[in-house]
Structure 1
Amino acid sequence: MDDDDLFPIVTLDLRAIRAVLTEDEGDLILLVDDGDVQIEFSSGLCGTWEQAILGAERVATAATDFAAALRRVHAPTPLAA
Structure 2
Amino acid sequence: MHDAELVFDYDTPEAAALIADSVGQEIGEIEGDRTTAAVSRDGSRLRIDIDADDLVALRAGLNTWATLVEVAERSMKAGR
Higher relative contact order (CA 8 A, sep 6+): 2
| Structure with bigger gyration radius | 1
* Bigger proportion of residues as strand: 2
TM beyond 0.5: no
TM normalised by structure 2 equals 0.41
TM-score normalised to structure 1 length: 0.41
